[in-house]
Amino acid sequence: MLSVGIPAPSFSLPDQNGQMHALEDYRGKKVILYFYPKDNTAGCTKQACAFGELYPQFMEKGAVVLGVSKDSVASHKKFEEKYGLPFTLLSDPELAAIQAYDVWQEKNMYGKKTMGVVRTTYLIDEQGVIQRAFGKVKAAENPRQMLDCL
């Protein structure tokens, strides 16, 4: 996990509609950048839906929500449509941002070691500096936790 107080690594990734997004596009706004393992899984769905429910409150506080996983643009589109998600999902199959933000780590699932995305959320300020970093977050509680940080 990256340290608080450092500049957030730059990225340029496609969203669920194939449009490119760079971190620099959000200068002047707070960014909730959350990394999650996989679309349409129980924990990831709870987290995304909770961010969706609270999204108007994030907007009121001048913040945008960006979800990132290694799923494809098409997978993100289905996920967005199935749950009516109002925020941007970024596709990172090459692991560029995932590795830059140090969330690609060894995981232990039922005694089997694999590499994967560790659920992590960053709060990035208007100048692009990491203000808060939360690793191994609880999916259902993380959106409220982030709103409270604002």
Q: Which residues are catalytic?
A: 44
Residue 66 Ramachandran class (φ > 0 left, ψ -120 to 50 alpha, else beta): beta
DSSP helix/strand/coil, 99 = helix
CA distance 136 to 138: 7
Token couple for 107:
């995981």
The count of C-alpha atoms lying within 13 angstroms of the C-alpha of 17, restricted to the half-sphere facing its C-beta, is 7
For residue 149, report the phi and psi dihedrals to the nearest 5 degrees: -70, -30
CB 15 within 8 A of CB 90: yes
Return the amino acid letter for 95.
L
